[in-house]
């Protein structure tokens, strides 16, 4: 699965060596979920890597209407992987979508957007590679149930680790329950999921995705994080799709379920996707320099672009109504649009673990793992490039703890929108930077806003259970 020089001939050899019986073609819909179809070997030949395979795209979320539904998948041979979650030997291939008539990349295909973003970067001459390193957090639950009807609503998630189970009869209950906000780095027996996370890591590495570390995260009830090494933009998009797929399916092996929902628990930490970024050219890092925190002028302008466009970016990097239950001022979420070295309360942090120029990068802490990785990373790259091209000053760094600033001082620090509706309004007003190089186009932006506005309105129409506690007796 790792990026290499794997050719169609190599894939054919892989099929023979592994006695593959089936080929699974995976692609990503607009919100970011994998879709797939499977063929037997009768459909396989090396021409599919150039000619593609036809399919009906009319039912894919956010895609074309039925009168323009014929499309082609073009599989990428470098993504070939034996899908261990199939009973029969199955080869998995990630695909890009193209128009069958023009052979042009389909403008609503997220992976195609990532390809265009990388091409635009190279066309600018600024750099030839954009590296991304996301830290996607998630919860491993034992059970999830939910329902909504005209006259009732209900949800429940559960975990044997959850602090609310300290009084549950477990025959016996041994009392090792993680209290809210105390889940960072405990060892067994409090951490009950070490073996599951280890298995996830090993399966990811079998798929060619290098692992840096794994650990329990801050929240109770099985919050986890597995960090993978940085990679170029499109490749990292591929890795994140495999990441979610493998993590979910390993959890299922153990009778558990995984969610990347940003805020599934009240009163505890949500799941973010802190995203590390750097630009390189001809094998040399471009973000190291003599400026603040060892940054180059280019890196500071890149930060300026991210901060300038951050409200609009959240519509793509934090694309659900639930995302904004994590992004609440006054708590630990990175809502304040400032940058700082080491300061984790700023939206942009400059990691200082190493003096090696190759490790110099910027970390945008606002995104969450509900984001479509291809779209989110492409948008972040375009915002940063806009900052470089227009020499956008990021302002002065803010090295104070933003959570402890007096109200009058904190009021001077801009923040991200407090709802998906606000983020969509920001995107509508500020998206010209996304149109450069035809990476995104107006049709994509309009379609995205329409799709997400429907989600926002769907939630607004429904009474919330807690409203009964607050308002029933008004």
Cα atoms in the Cβ-side hemisphere of radius 13 Å centred on 322: 15
Pairing of strands 22-28, 90-98: parallel
Q: Which of 118, 365, 368, 386 is catalytic?
A: 365
Classified as helix, coil or strand, 216 is: strand
Do residues 87 and 347 lie in contact, with contact meaning Cβ atoms separated by under 8 Å? no
Residue listed under structure tokens 């901060």: 307
Structure tokens given for 241: 């799709």
Q: Is 443 in the active site?
A: no
Q: Is 365 in the active site?
A: yes
Q: Is 143 in the active site?
A: no
Q: Phi and psi of 384, rounded to 5°?
A: -65, -40
CA distance 460 to 456: 6
Quickly list H helices, 325-419. 373-389, 407-410
CA distance 209 to 230: 10
Q: Is 56 in the active site?
A: yes
CA distance 345 to 332: 7
Q: Is 169 in the active site?
A: no
Do residues 32 and 373 lie in contact, with contact meaning Cβ atoms separated by under 8 Å? yes
CA distance 5 to 360: 28
Classified as helix, coil or strand, 181 is: coil
Q: Which of 225, 238, 368, 386 is catalytic?
A: 225
Do residues 132 and 231 lie in contact, with contact meaning Cβ atoms separated by under 8 Å? yes
Do residues 370 and 261 lie in contact, with contact meaning Cβ atoms separated by under 8 Å? yes
Q: Which of 115, 203, 363, 386 is catalytic?
A: 363
Q: Which of 64, 274, 276, 308 is catalytic?
A: 274
Classified as helix, coil or strand, 280 is: strand
Among 34, 106, 110, 113, smallest CA distance to 68 is for: 106
Q: Which of 344, 418, 430, 455 is catalytic?
A: 344
The residues pairing with 56 across neighbouring beta strands, listed in sequence order, are 70
Q: Which of 107, 137, 142, 203 is catalytic?
A: 137
Classified as helix, coil or strand, 96 is: strand
Angle at 379 between CA 377 and CA 385, to 5 degrees: 100
Check residue 457 and give left, alpha or beta (phi > 0: left; psi -120 to 50: alpha). Answer: alpha
- What are the start-end ranges of the E strands in 114-174? 129-141, 143-148, 153-158
Q: Phi and psi of 341, rounded to 5°?
A: -80, 125
Q: Which of 107, 109, 217, 268 is catalytic?
A: 217
Residue listed under structure tokens 């993590």: 247
Q: Is 344 in the active site?
A: yes
Q: Is 225 in the active site?
A: yes
Q: Which of 29, 83, 118, 135 is catalytic?
A: 135
Q: Roughly what angle, to the nearest 10 degrees, separates helices 194-206 and 233-253?
A: 130
Q: Is 215 in the active site?
A: no
Catalytic residues: 56, 135, 137, 217, 225, 274, 344, 363, 365
């Amino acid at each position: 699965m790792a990026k290499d020089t794997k050719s169609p001939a190599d894939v054919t050899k892989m099929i023979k060596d592994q006695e593959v019986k089936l080929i699974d073609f995976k692609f990503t819909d607009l919100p970011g979920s994998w879709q797939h179809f499977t063929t037997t070997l009768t459909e396989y030949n090396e021409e599919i890597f150039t000619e593609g395979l036809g399919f009906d795209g009319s039912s894919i979320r956010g895609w074309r209407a039925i009168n323009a539904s014929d499309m082609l998948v073009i599989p990428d041979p470098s993504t070939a992987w034996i899908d261990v979650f199939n009973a029969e030997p199955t080869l998995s291939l990630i695909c890009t979508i193209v128009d069958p008539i023009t052979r042009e990349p389909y403008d609503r295909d997220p992976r195609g957007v990532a390809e265009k973003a990388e091409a635009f970067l190279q066309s600018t001459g600024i750099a030839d590679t954009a590296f991304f390193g996301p830290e996607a957090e998630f919860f491993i639950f034992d059970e999830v149930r939910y329902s909504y009807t005209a006259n009732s609503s209900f949800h429940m998630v559960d975990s044997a680790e959850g602090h609310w189970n300290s009084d549950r009869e477990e025959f016996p209950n041994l009392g090792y329950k993680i209290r809210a906000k105390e889940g960072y780095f405990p060892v067994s027996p409090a951490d009950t999921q070490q073996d599951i996370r280890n298995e996830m890591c090993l399966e990811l590495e079998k798929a060619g995705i290098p692992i840096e570390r794994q650990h329990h995260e801050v929240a109770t009830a099985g919050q986890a994080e597995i960090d993978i090494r940085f990679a170029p933009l499109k490749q990292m998009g591929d890795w994140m799709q495999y990441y979610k797929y493998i993590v979910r399916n390993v959890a299922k092996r153990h009778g558990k379920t995984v969610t990347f929902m940003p805020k599934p628990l009240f009163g505890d930490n949500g799941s973010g996707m802190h995203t590390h970024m750097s630009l390189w050219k001809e094998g040399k890092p471009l973000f190291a320099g003599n400026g603040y925190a060892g940054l180059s002028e280019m890196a500071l302008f890149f930060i300026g672009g991210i901060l300038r466009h951050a409200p609009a970016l959240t519509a793509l990097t934090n694309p659900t109504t639930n995302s904004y239950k994590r992004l609440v001022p006054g708590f630990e979420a990175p809502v304040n649009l400032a940058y700082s070295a080491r300061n984790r309360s700023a939206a942009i942090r400059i990691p200082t673990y190493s003096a090696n120029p190759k490790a110099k990068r910027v970390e945008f802490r606002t995104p969450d793992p509900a984001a479509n990785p291809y779209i989110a990373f492409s948008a972040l790259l375009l915002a940063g490039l806009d900052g470089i091209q227009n020499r956008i000053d990021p302002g002065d760094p803010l090295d104070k703890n933003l959570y402890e600033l007096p109200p009058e001082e904190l009021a001077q620090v801009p923040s991200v929108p407090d709802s998906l509706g606000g983020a969509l309004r920001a995107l509508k007003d500020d998206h010209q930077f996304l149109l450069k190089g035809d990476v995104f186009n107006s049709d994509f932006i309009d379609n995205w806003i329409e799709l997400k506005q429907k989600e926002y309105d769907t939630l607004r129409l429904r009474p919330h259970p807690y409203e009964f506690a607050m308002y029933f007796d008004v």
